[in-house]
């Protein structure tokens, strides 16, 4: 399962903002450990634990909370150090290349939900290839964490079960087929690594990547929110939208309050 597409950027943003998920900190702690090790492969277990604790204290300003996390921090460090010699570095995927042939194949489905699932499968596969350094078209059709990630990438408000049914429909239409090991892995039949007619997807997150397909089929455009920098879909290519909905609401409230007082 792809947990964080660009883990290096994720940690750097976390360090810069001094913010993390304090309700479920293990994901962020693990990422921080890998980042610290990448910066200094000679770092010891005790040094790692100390640096993680220093960051936790800086974020929470709560010594009791940091003490409560000590068992988790030690376990995370121990687990990482057990495979540290094989660690190849943080994932750092900044772009994904798709081709016009792949998009044409997806559009030929003529079913919007199925198209978004097919697009998500394709992008998910290429992200995995970028992280592992491989170039193949294999995926695991029955892996629930993978299907959950495909659901996120698709942007569809569907259950995991419904996404799995959509993937089955892709197989019925010949877009996927059995691969090595029969039901264990399958192949995408519409992956194109040879075409020079490429489309590069940049500045994406798992949550916004479906917007890039939306632009292709609805002829809109993507803008960057001037307040938070988030990528936003705009229906009209001529519209002069500057903000995402959340920031626009916030700015309008501030303007209203300023006029009042």
- Closest to 149 (Cα-Cα) out of 134, 133, 131, 169: 131
Give the pLDDT score at 41. Answer: 93
pTM value is 0.78
> pLDDT tens digit string along 122-131?
999 999 888 8
- In which residue are the tokens 């239409």 written? 173
Q: In this model, does residue 111 exceed pLDDT 90?
A: yes
Q: Long-range contacts of range 47-50, CB-CB < 8 Å, 24 or more positions apart?
A: 48/77, 48/80, 48/81, 49/73, 49/74, 49/77
Sequence ranges of the chain with CATH classification 1.10.10: 95-188
- Closest to 142 (Cα-Cα) out of 125, 164, 157: 164
> pLDDT tens digit string along 186-237?
889 999 988 888 888 888 888 889 999 998 888 888 888 888 877 888 887 7
Domain 95-188 has CATH 1.10.3470: no
Least confident of 32-41, 150-159, 249-258: 249-258
Which helix (H) or strand (E) is 58 found in, with range?
A: helix 45-60
Residue 1 binned pLDDT confidence (cut-offs 50, 70, 90): low
Q: Long-range contacts of range 64-68, CB-CB < 8 Å, 24 or more positions apart?
A: 65/22
Which helix (H) or strand (E) is 222 found in, with range?
A: strand 221-224
Q: Long-range contacts of range 174-177, CB-CB < 8 Å, 24 or more positions apart?
A: 175/105, 175/109, 175/118, 176/121, 176/141
Q: What is the mean pLDDT of residues 8-16?
A: 91
For residue 196, report the phi and psi dihedrals to the nearest 5 degrees: -95, -5
Give the pLDDT score at 252. Answer: 80
> pLDDT tens digit string along 41-76?
999 999 999 999 999 999 999 999 889 999 999 999
What is the SS3 assignment for 174? coil
Pairing mode, strands 198-202 and 95-99 = antiparallel
What DSSP string runs through 84-153?
A: GGG-----B--EEEEEHHHHHHHHTT--HHHHHHHHHHHHHHHHHHHHHT----EE-TT-HHHHHHHHHH
Residue 151 binned pLDDT confidence (cut-offs 50, 70, 90): very high
Residue 36 binned pLDDT confidence (cut-offs 50, 70, 90): very high
Other CB atoms closer than 10 Å to residue 10's CB: what's the count? 21
Inter-residue contact 112 to 26 (CB < 8 Å):
no
Measured at the alpha carbon of residue 221, what is the angle toward residues 122 and 191, in degrees to the nearest 5?
15
Give the pLDDT score at 32. Answer: 95
Inter-residue contact 203 to 231 (CB < 8 Å):
yes
């Amino acid at each position: 399962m792809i947990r964080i597409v660009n883990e290096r950027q994720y940690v750097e943003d976390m360090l810069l903002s001094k913010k993390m998920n304090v309700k479920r900190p293990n994901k962020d702690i693990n990422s921080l450990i890998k980042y610290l090790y990448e910066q200094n492969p000679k770092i010891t277990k005790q040094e790692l634990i100390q640096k993680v604790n220093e960051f936790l204290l800086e974020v929470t300003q709560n010594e009791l909370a940091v003490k409560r996390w000590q068992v988790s921090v030690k376990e995370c460090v121990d687990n990482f150090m057990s495979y540290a010699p094989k660690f190849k570095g943080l994932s750092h995927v900044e772009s994904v290349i798709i081709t016009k042939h792949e998009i044409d194949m997806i559009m030929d489905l003529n079913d919007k939900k199925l198209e978004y699932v097919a697009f998500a499968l394709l992008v998910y596969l290429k992200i995995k290839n970028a992280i592992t350094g491989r170039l193949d078209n294999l995926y695991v059709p029955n892996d629930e964490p993978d299907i959950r990630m495909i659901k996120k990438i698709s942007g569809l408000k569907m259950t995991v079960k419904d996404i799995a049914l959509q993937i089955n429909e892709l197989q019925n239409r010949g877009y996927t087929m059995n691969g090595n090991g029969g039901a264990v892995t399958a192949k995408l039949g519409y992956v194109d690594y040879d075409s020079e007619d490429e489309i590069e997807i940049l500045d994406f997150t798992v949550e916004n990547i479906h917007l890039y397909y939306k632009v292709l089929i609805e002829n809109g455009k993507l803008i960057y929110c001037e307040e938070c920098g988030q990528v936003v879909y705009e229906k009209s290519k001529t519209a002069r939208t500057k903000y995402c909905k959340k920031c626009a609401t916030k700015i309008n409230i501030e303007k209203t309050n300023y006029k009042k007082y």
